[in-house]
Amino acid sequence: MSRLGESSACARAVAMNSMDSDVIIIGGGLVGATLALALARHEVTSIVVDAQDLDTTTLPAFDGRASAIASASGRMLRALGLGDILDAHGCPIREIRVTDGTHPQFLHFDAGAENDPLGTMLENRLLRVGLLRAVRDCPEVTLLAPVTVAGIDRDDHAATLRLADGRVFRAPLVVACDGRRSATREAAGIPIAQWHYPHAALITMVTHTVPHHNIACELFYPQGPLALLPMRDTDDGRPRTAIVWTVDGKHMDAARKLGPRQLAAEIAARCDGTMGEIEVIAPQAVWPLGYHHAARYTDTRLLLIGDAAHGIHPIAGQGLNMGLRDVAAAAEVLTNAARGGLDLGSPDVLAQVSAWRRFDNSLVCAVTDGLNRLFAVPGSVPSLVRRTGLAAVERMPPLKRFFMNQARGETGKLPALLKGELV
């Protein structure tokens, strides 16, 4: 360490004497737990608080969703020690097909001969199992759940977290990872752009007789898209696929009441029988869909990341990936600041994270919202325009590469963690 580094590190050590940790993280969900782990790998300490008993969040009944984890996010999870979960339970996505209904003209993304798949499908609950185990093994992380946050005071000197049980903790920085209805964001008075889509996502899991060949399909219908996401085969060798079916508000009640056989028939009809015989193997769950994006990610000693900062339609499987990219950027900036002896909650440090993430998040929010609106327009003329558009993108290598890199999570300046490096 340089002499300058030594003296500033000393100053930080003196300041830290009155602090309980380097960072307080509100929310130990997928994003908050990953941040705690990433900081811990660089010896930055955190206190993570969550309102829920986190063991219940690993049960199938809590969250039956599976996520498409982009290859860059996957590299980060591996660097953080979660490769065993991805290898044991993840299903590589080798191709993505985007079609207007089942029209044969489609946009096609292919991992090609490269070893690196476009992404990996993994049940959320299994990712939670891996993250919780890893976080609990970290001496740098203090996990408190379930607890109730009574208030957070933030001033020029410190952020102070008060819990309803009377405990008080101080740190230079609070990171809000408390999801789309972030109470931390609201208490800070940070405005959001927000709208609700007139449809919801019905999710379930199916087995089928025709193998999926690791191909993810996004079939767009004016009533809403149907995503078929390849999962690892069942233990007895049956091909398995996660379903995200977007159903408009008018039809949601009827869709919710469909029995397993009727639901299987609806899915089969929408994919033209290409999956063979379908059996629904998980209860359907309905998720409301909306868009929100915080006007700013920072406030005095406060940083918003993950769904606390932005939430999008799951059409392109990017919401969690954006949150994980926030984690990678925040971890790099905060770790460098800690090494340099800087105040982790200073406006300059927080501005670096915000500047790094704003463009990518805004782009993904806009593209996802635009896609969703474009494909929702009914009628044969819009349909023809869409097919022509898909065919045009298919024939434009630079544009296709842009979408492919976006799917892989590899646009812009990548933080080291997204390259799979712990620095």
Ligand X SMILES: Cc1cc2nc3c(=O)[nH]c(=O)nc-3n(C[C@H](O)[C@H](O)[C@H](O)COP(=O)(O)OP(=O)(O)OC[C@H]3O[C@@H](n4cnc5c(N)ncnc54)[C@H](O)[C@@H]3O)c2cc1C
Q: Which of 49, 173, 174, 334 binds ligand X (CB under 6 A)?
A: 49
Q: Which of 65, 97, 125, 157 binds ligand X (CB under 6 A)?
A: 65
Number of residues that bind ligand X (CB under 6 A): 32
The nearer residue to ligand X, 239 or 306, going by C-beta atoms, is 306
H/E stretch holding 245 reads strand 240-248
Q: Which of 23, 36, 50, 205 binds ligand X (CB under 6 A)?
A: 50
Q: Are 326 and 357 in contact (CB under 8 A)?
A: yes
The nearer residue to ligand X, 32 or 74, going by C-beta atoms, is 32
Q: Rounded to 5 degrees, what are φ and ψ at 378?
A: -80, 165
In angstroms, give the least distance from the CB of 88 to ligand X: 19
Q: Are 335 and 36 in contact (CB under 8 A)?
A: no
Question: What's the CA gap between 75 and 88, in Å, rounded?
Answer: 15
- Cα 26 vs. chain centroid, distance in angstroms? 16
What x-and-dash track marks residues 273-302 binding ligand X by CB under 6 A? --------------x---------------
Q: Which of 9, 15, 16, 51 binds ligand X (CB under 6 A)?
A: 51
Residue 320 makes contact with ligand X by CB under 6 A: yes
Q: Interacting stretch for ligand X, rule CB under 6 A, among 48-56, 157-165, 290-298, 386-394?
A: 48-56
Residue 345 makes contact with ligand X by CB under 6 A: no
Residue 354 makes contact with ligand X by CB under 6 A: no
Strands 192-208 and 310-311 come out as unpaired
- Sheet of 302-304, strands arranged across: 141-144, 46-49, 23-26, 173-176, 302-304, 298-299
In angstroms, give the least distance from the CB of 142 to ligand X: 14
Long-range contacts of 330-335 (CB under 8 A, 24+ apart): 330/35, 330/175, 330/303, 330/305, 330/357, 331/35, 331/38, 331/39, 331/42, 331/44, 331/415, 331/417, 332/415, 332/416, 332/417, 332/423, 334/22, 334/23, 334/39, 334/44, 334/173, 335/39, 335/42, 335/44
Residue 98 makes contact with ligand X by CB under 6 A: no
What x-and-dash track marks residues 153-192 binding ligand X by CB under 6 A? ------------------------xxx---x---------
The span from the first CA to the last CA of the chain, in angstroms, equals 15
Residue 90 makes contact with ligand X by CB under 6 A: no
Nearest CA to 306 out of 131, 60, 92 is that of 131
Q: Which of 44, 217, 244, 304 binds ligand X (CB under 6 A)?
A: 244
Residue 67 makes contact with ligand X by CB under 6 A: yes
Which letter does DSSP use for residue 232 in this model? Answer: P
The nearer residue to ligand X, 42 or 180, going by C-beta atoms, is 180
Residue 46 makes contact with ligand X by CB under 6 A: no
In angstroms, give the least distance from the CB of 203 to ligand X: 5
Residue 321 makes contact with ligand X by CB under 6 A: yes
Residue 74 makes contact with ligand X by CB under 6 A: no
Question: What are 257's two structure tokens?
Answer: 């009441």
Residues whose CB is less than 8 angstroms from the CB of residue 301 and which lie 6 or more positions away in sequence, other chains included: 154, 155, 158, 159, 172, 173, 174, 345
In angstroms, give the least distance from the CB of 401 to ligand X: 21
Question: What's the CA gap between 108 and 115, in Å, rounded?
Answer: 18
Question: What are 253's two structure tokens?
Answer: 């009640």
Q: Which of 23, 203, 329, 333 binds ligand X (CB under 6 A)?
A: 203
Question: What's the CA gap between 336 and 357, in Å, rounded?
Answer: 17
Residue 200 makes contact with ligand X by CB under 6 A: no
Three-state DSSP state, 17: coil
The nearer residue to ligand X, 63 or 332, going by C-beta atoms, is 63
Question: What's the CA gap between 247 and 170, in Å, rounded?
Answer: 45
Q: Which of 74, 130, 172, 323 binds ligand X (CB under 6 A)?
A: 323
Q: Which of 19, 23, 26, 206 binds ligand X (CB under 6 A)?
A: 26
Q: Which of 24, 28, 64, 98 binds ligand X (CB under 6 A)?
A: 28
In angstroms, give the least distance from the CB of 287 to ligand X: 4
CA separation (Å) from 352 to 91, 336, 356?
Answer: 35, 11, 6
Residue 230 makes contact with ligand X by CB under 6 A: no
Question: What are 392's two structure tokens?
Answer: 């045009």
Q: Which of 32, 224, 239, 341 binds ligand X (CB under 6 A)?
A: 32
Which letter does DSSP use for residue 233 in this model? Answer: P
Residue 406 makes contact with ligand X by CB under 6 A: no
Residue 62 makes contact with ligand X by CB under 6 A: no
In the complex, the residues that contact ligand X under the rule CB under 6 A are: 26-32, 49-52, 65, 67-68, 149, 177-179, 183, 201, 203, 244, 287, 306-307, 314, 317-321, 323
